[in-house]
Amino acid sequence: MRLIAILLLVTFMQVSASTFAQKVTLRENNRSLILVLKQLKAKTGYNLLYTERHLKLARPVSIQVKNAELLQVLEQLFEGQALTYELDKKTIVIREKPNSPAQSVTTNMEESLMDKQIPVHGRIIDSLDKPLQGASIRLMPGSKSASSNGSGSFTINDVKPGNYTLEISYVGFEVVRKKIKVDAVNSLDIGNVILTPLNSPLDEVQVIAYGTTSRRLSTGSVSKVQAAVIERQPVSNVLQSLQGRVPGLYISQSNGIAGSGINVSIRGRNSINAGNSPLYIVDGVPFSNTTVSSQAEGVVLSDGAAGSNFSPFNTINPDDIESVEVLKDADATSIYGARGANGVILITTKKGKAGRSNFDVNFSQGFGNVVGTADVLGTKEYLDLRKQAFVNDGLDKTDADSPDLLLWDQNAYTDWQKLLIGNNSQITNLVTSFSGGNEDTRFKLSGSFRRETTVYQDDKSYKRGGLYATLDHTSPNKKLNVGFSMIYTKDSNTLPTLDMTNLYNMPPNYPLYTPSGQLYFGGGFTNPLAFLLTTDYNDTENAILNTTVKYNIANGLDLKLSAGYNKISLDMENNRPSTSQDPSTAADINSTFSLATTTAYIVEPQLDYRRLIGRGKFMATIGGTWQQSQFNQPYTLFVTGYSSDALIRNPAAGNISYKLSYFSEYKYLSAFGRLSYNWDDKYLFNATFRRDGSSKFGANNRFGNFGSVGAGWIFSKEHVVAELFDFLSHGKLRGSYGSVGNDQIASNYAYKDTYRNSAYSYGGMSGLVVNGIANPDYQWEVTKKLEFALELGFMKDRVLLTTAVYKNKSDNMLVNYALSPQTGFTSYTANLPAVVENRGLEIELNTRNVNSKTFQWSTDFNISFLRNKLARYDGIKSSAYANTYVVGQPLDLISLYQFSGIVDGVPVVKDLNGDGSISSGFFENGNGDHAIAGQSSPKFFGGLNNSLTFKRFQLDLFFQFVKQKGYMLGYGEYDYFPGSLNNIPTYIASQGIKPTTTTGSEVANGYEYYVDSDAMITDASFIRLKNLSLTYNLPEKIAGKMKMNYCKVFLRGQNLLTFTKYKGIDPETQGNVLPPLRMLTAGLQFNF
């Protein structure tokens, strides 16, 4: 019996110890004691025993414990309370403390509790249980308000008993109004409040400089292109996917070769000589669209892409991009200071989302080809023209000057465009991704591969492989957030450096091969196929890393630190073997090698403050930027004298004819700030300021100040407007004014005297010679931007119309100012006394035409009108720019001779200044006979998109349109006159120009004027079916049988149809360059 008693005692003690040692985790802030104890009951299984009086005496508690013992938790909860507790087996019994003031509370004291002010608290989350930080909570009636913290929690203190309405709002979500009752003694916990995302496009989140907003509440001009639009286009460069889709953003391709350069401008050209490229920001890291090799002030290789600038954006996989925001006016761009004059393009990549893990695969394959070709003469027409030329000149034909008539087959015909650019390019694209996470940690990892061949007659290609990773983590108390993203891509480009389209005018009966089967070289021509025997290797590596740390210091106060890194390296090699050269001459086997790297670092600390003031929301941001960029070209080598083609890739096997290296560095330091106030989502105000310092400027003018003010009035919220115009769901007037800068000058050291190595040596040592003259006083270019806009929404925002007018003025033009040769220098960097003006009108219309259960149809339309001119330049007629610009005319004006007709077979142009001779100076400036014939930039441009969804099918059709003038094919080709040993376009042959074979003849001289006259200007306007996308989503049952969450098949096309009157190959690229290819791909996307 004694043994049994001992065993029972030991067992009881073990059970008790186990009970009291039970581990508990709690995270609560200013919540009801009873509610916390109820949570404890759920976690431990203990019962609660208390009375109504205990509810009145209990005070709110805050506690944060992890894996703590139950007794420790209870002691912390009841510390400072008028209550205590006892543990009775599995029950927590609550009692009043002996001799506590609460036990002697009188009836009068209880009645006085009616005057006590207590807190109201709760938590704001979305439908996925994700906390919403920065939500506005307003208590009505009255002026008390609060905003939610990182965990979504809020507290409104000192609330008197009574009935109230809580109004809860957050950008992009519907406003929630919740009725509450506050009693005399209890703190009120309303629990979780779930906000529902708004369905209106006006409330989609927009990324702006150092923050976010919505289209409804924005005071600036911001346009957004989402991932769904980008993904529907089979392109390798994200900039191509923006063509025609954003008002004010004009984009054109330099040619149709994979990886080729993209021309981008926002609201026109602001600068005469400095850069006009926008500022690009990828996940907070500045990214240059300038080819790496072009940043050197020396001789470098053409970096692939058929001799054009290779676009660095080809190294970013479009499928990794979540959205692209285009910032245009002063309100949106001035916070970027000296970098924002030409607009800003923000690129945000995709992030992982809380929820189950997903594995996604997207595979597509297709082809591309050339649609339009030049109409040139056939063999018979060409030879007839050649024969007539010899008759007209009275000359005898010889083997040297007329091999096409004496040596080559008179019936042979080669369609050079079909042979050289008439093949199909092959396109393969594969993207896989894995993503997932929970409320605290989210991740995404993706890999991609793309390969494109060319339409040339070879197997060379452009290949790109990439890795993208992102990870972000939020601490359990929601105060700390850490994020990391990485983009790494490597591409290999072996495409030829020569655009084979240049050879469209080869004689049609030129033989490709000798009778023995060797490449034919003769008639002064290099065999076109020999160009394909040169080899090019252009390997690019791109790494973009960004880390952000954000900490919630206090309610409404956040500290953020962003650090970024970008490195692009380009390893280039060009080889010219003996097989690509005429065997009848001594072979010059040569190669060129070059390596160039651009590295950029950026660190940006930022402090954000939010507070509700009255019925409005006040926000303030202050921060700074430190940025350093370096360009390093350790070597460029030109090597000759190889003994064999087999050694051509080894520079040590040849003789280095010349070599050079280059290094430059650029540093940037700034401080910025923004103040904004939103009164009742009706009256909006925003002000920004930035002070920038740049190492590109001398000590006298190294720093500059920039800023803006913006305001908006949502007049549709006025009661009078709402009553009179009930069909108007949204109406807003906004305007902005401010200044931004431009520091895109060619040299980082123009404020200093610069030197270079001398070609001569003294005493066996190379000397130095002055390369550039210093100017420590040049200043920033400054652009002042003014904009007004009207935004309207009808039929519950099913119809949205935005109209914006703007006027930008840029002065202090940074140019290479011409000097007299007697100074020993040709120019130096200086500010030009000139003003450039851009003004325009932008219209955007978005409609949801049908929105039924089985059929949806939406339409998006935009059109932009732009007028650019040189508004002022005092003394231009006596300056070095007298034959480049005209006051009152566009910077990209077309100035040509005025064609007056054909006289006796000779083209004639007008002698406008009447001096008896023809000269190329600008007639408008009194210097010659060139007259203004138009402008090369569009008069207007835009796009029209229709998206239709029927059950499981989705069809998207996008048309791009441009109104412009352009140069015909043949412009500037002075030596290719009718009768010369070259083919010509049929429209030139039909002009009645007398054929001649003699350079310098009257006809040949007249032809030089002809191809430099307005006779070569044509309507280059076009409408293009830019993109077609047809998608079918497999039924869930079928996808489920294959263990897939979803599966869809798609067909996508790019540049499918073009409607134009242009006389040439393509109205977008113009001239003799490869046009944008028509591409058609089919693919499959599925998710596990």
Question: Both ends of the chain: CA-CA distance in Å?
Answer: 65
Q: Please tell me whether residues 234 and 320 are part of one structural domain.
A: yes
Number of Cα atoms under 13 Å in the Cβ half of residue 943: 22
The mean per-residue pLDDT over the stretch 820-826 comes to 77
Domain for residue 714, yes or no?
no
Confidence class for position 52, pLDDT limits 50, 70, 90: low
Contact in structure between 123 and 84 (CB atoms under 8 Å): no
Confidence class for position 827, pLDDT limits 50, 70, 90: confident
Q: Over pLDDT 90: what percentage of the chain?
A: 57
Q: How far apart are CA 150 and CA 481, in angstroms?
A: 9
The mean per-residue pLDDT over the stretch 427-448 comes to 94
Contact in structure between 337 and 691 (CB atoms under 8 Å): yes
pLDDT at 1045: 86
The mean per-residue pLDDT over the stretch 37-53 comes to 75
Q: How many domains does the chain have?
A: 3
On the question of pLDDT at 466 being above 80, the answer is: yes
Per the listing, tokens 């993706």 go with 446
On the question of pLDDT at 488 being above 50, the answer is: yes
Write out the two tokens for 160: 């008197």
CATH number at residue 129: 2.60.40.10
On the question of pLDDT at 220 being above 60, the answer is: yes
pLDDT at 578: 92
Domain for residue 415, yes or no?
no
The mean per-residue pLDDT over the stretch 260-286 comes to 91
pLDDT at 1016: 95
Contact in structure between 182 and 160 (CB atoms under 8 Å): yes
- Give the distance, in angstroms, between the CA of residue 1015 and the centroid of all CA atoms in the same chain: 38
Q: Which residues contact 415 (CB under 8 A, 6 or more apart)?
A: 422, 508
Number of Cα atoms under 13 Å in the Cβ half of residue 70: 22
On the question of pLDDT at 829 being above 50, the answer is: yes
Domain for residue 185, yes or no?
yes
Name the domain boundary from 108, 141, 164: 108
Confidence class for position 759, pLDDT limits 50, 70, 90: low
Question: What is the β-pairing status of strands 344-349 and 279-282?
Answer: parallel
The mean per-residue pLDDT over the stretch 815-829 comes to 79
Q: Which residues contact 657 (CB under 8 A, 6 or more apart)?
A: 590, 638, 639, 640
Consecutive H or E run containing 1053: strand 1046-1060
Q: Please tell me the least confidently modeled range out of 103-112, 650-659, 987-996, 1011-1020.
A: 103-112
The mean per-residue pLDDT over the stretch 124-140 comes to 82
pLDDT at 290: 76
Domain for residue 85, yes or no?
yes
Name the domain boundary from 77, 108, 139: 108
Contact in structure between 1029 and 1079 (CB atoms under 8 Å): no
Q: Please tell me whether residues 56 and 98 are part of one structural domain.
A: yes
Q: Please tell me whether residues 209 and 313 are part of one structural domain.
A: yes
Residue 290, number of CB atoms within 10 A of its CB: 15
Contact in structure between 1038 and 1047 (CB atoms under 8 Å): yes
What are the CA-CA distances from residue 468 to residues 33, 405, 434, 446, 598 (Å)? 47, 60, 10, 5, 20
Q: Residue 992: is it exposed, middle or buried by C-beta count within 10 angstroms (0-12/13-18/19+)?
A: exposed
pLDDT at 184: 61
Q: Tell me, what DSSP letter sits at residue 999? A: T
Contact in structure between 567 and 543 (CB atoms under 8 Å): yes
On the question of pLDDT at 810 being above 50, the answer is: yes
Amino acid code (one letter) for 58: A
Q: Please tell me whether residues 206 and 332 are part of one structural domain.
A: yes
Q: Please tell me whether residues 211 and 326 are part of one structural domain.
A: yes
On the question of pLDDT at 100 being above 60, the answer is: no
Confidence class for position 304, pLDDT limits 50, 70, 90: very low
Amino acid code (one letter) for 804: A
The mean per-residue pLDDT over the stretch 746-764 comes to 76
H-assigned helices in 210-305: 227-231
3-class SS of residue 903: strand
pLDDT, tens only, 665-703: 989 999 999 999 999 889 999 999 999 999 988 888 899
Amino acid code (one letter) for 611: R
pLDDT at 1: 39
On the question of pLDDT at 905 being above 50, the answer is: yes
pLDDT at 107: 41
- CA torsion 403→408→414→420, rounded to 10°? -60
Q: Please tell me the least confidently modeled range out of 23-27, 87-91, 363-367.
A: 87-91
The mean per-residue pLDDT over the stretch 568-577 comes to 91
Write out the two tokens for 490: 């490597």
Q: How far apart are CA 711 and CA 537, in angstroms?
A: 53
pLDDT at 134: 80
- Name beta bridge partners: 85: 94
Name the domain boundary from 108, 135, 166: 108
Domain for residue 789, yes or no?
no
Contact in structure between 48 and 38 (CB atoms under 8 Å): yes
On the question of pLDDT at 832 being above 60, the answer is: yes
On the question of pLDDT at 301 being above 60, the answer is: no
On the question of pLDDT at 298 being above 60, the answer is: no
Q: Which of 194, 189, 188 is nearest to 174 (CA)?
A: 194
Q: How far apart are CA 139 and CA 160, in angstroms?
A: 11
pLDDT at 712: 97
Contact in structure between 963 and 871 (CB atoms under 8 Å): no
pLDDT at 294: 63
pLDDT at 141: 82
Domain for residue 253, yes or no?
yes
pLDDT at 383: 97
Q: Which of 259, 509, 293 is nearest to 386 (CA)?
A: 509
Domain for residue 780, yes or no?
no
Domain for residue 141, yes or no?
yes
The mean per-residue pLDDT over the stretch 418-423 comes to 94
CATH number at residue 325: 2.170.130.10
Strand runs labelled E in 152-278: 153-159, 162-169, 176-182, 188-194, 205-208, 211-214, 222-226, 249-253, 262-266
Per the listing, tokens 């352009």 go with 966
Q: Please tell me the least confidently modeled range out of 86-90, 141-145, 774-778, 1083-1087.
A: 86-90
Q: Please tell me whether residues 334 and 214 are part of one structural domain.
A: yes
Q: Please tell me the least confidently modeled range out of 204-218, 657-671, 745-759.
A: 745-759
Q: How far apart are CA 247 and CA 502, in angstroms?
A: 34
Q: Please tell me the least confidently modeled range out of 400-409, 734-743, 1037-1046, 1072-1081.
A: 1037-1046
Write out the two tokens for 1053: 């096309």
pLDDT, tens only, 10-42: 333 333 344 444 677 887 877 888 778 877 777
On the question of pLDDT at 1025 being above 80, the answer is: yes
Q: How far apart are CA 851 and CA 758, in angstroms?
A: 73
CA angle 189, 190, 196 (to 5 degrees): 145
pLDDT at 14: 38
Q: Which of 1059, 1054, 1055, 1056 is nearest to 1023 (CA)?
A: 1059
Q: Please tell me whether residues 211 and 325 are part of one structural domain.
A: yes
- CA torsion 154→155→156→162, rounded to 10°? 100
Contact in structure between 184 and 196 (CB atoms under 8 Å): no
Q: Measured over all CA atoms, what is the biggest interatomic distance in the chain, rounded to whole angstroms? A: 142
Q: Please tell me whether residues 251 and 285 are part of one structural domain.
A: yes
- CA torsion 1001→1004→1010→1012, rounded to 10°? -100
pLDDT at 833: 84
- Higher-confidence residue: 566 or 780? 566
pLDDT at 875: 86
Write out the two tokens for 473: 């983590």
On the question of pLDDT at 3 being above 50, the answer is: no
pLDDT, tens only, 789-802: 999 999 989 999 99
Consecutive H or E run containing 645: none
Contact in structure between 242 and 324 (CB atoms under 8 Å): yes
pLDDT, tens only, 941-950: 999 999 999 9
- Higher-confidence residue: 1046 or 1030? 1030
On the question of pLDDT at 1017 being above 90, the answer is: yes
Q: Please tell me whether residues 230 and 334 are part of one structural domain.
A: yes
Q: Please tell me whether residues 235 and 143 are part of one structural domain.
A: no
Q: Residue 547: is it exposed, middle or buried by C-beta count within 10 angstroms (0-12/13-18/19+)?
A: middle
pLDDT at 19: 42
Question: What is the β-pairing status of strands 953-963 and 965-967?
Answer: unpaired
Q: Which of 721, 726, 718 is nearest to 796 (CA)?
A: 726
Q: Which of 594, 490, 496 is nearest to 536 (CA)?
A: 496
242 — alpha (psi -120 to 50), left (phi > 0) or beta?
A: alpha
Q: Which of 1059, 978, 981, 1050 is nearest to 1011 (CA)?
A: 978
Q: Which of 842, 878, 889, 877 is nearest to 861 (CA)?
A: 842
The mean per-residue pLDDT over the stretch 733-751 comes to 88
Q: Please tell me the least confidently modeled range out of 383-387, 610-614, 757-761, 951-955.
A: 757-761
Q: Average pLDDT, whole number, for the chain?
A: 88
What are the CA-CA distances from residue 209 to residues 203, 213, 676, 909 (Å)? 18, 10, 13, 53
pLDDT at 20: 44
On the question of pLDDT at 855 being above 70, the answer is: yes
Q: Please tell me whether residues 187 and 165 are part of one structural domain.
A: yes
Domain span including residue 234 = 201-349
Q: Please tell me the least confidently modeled range out of 17-26, 137-146, 298-307, 1019-1028.
A: 298-307
Q: Please tell me whether residues 186 and 266 are part of one structural domain.
A: no
Strand runs labelled E in 795-930: 799-818, 827-851, 855-873, 893-896, 899-903, 906-909
pLDDT at 308: 43
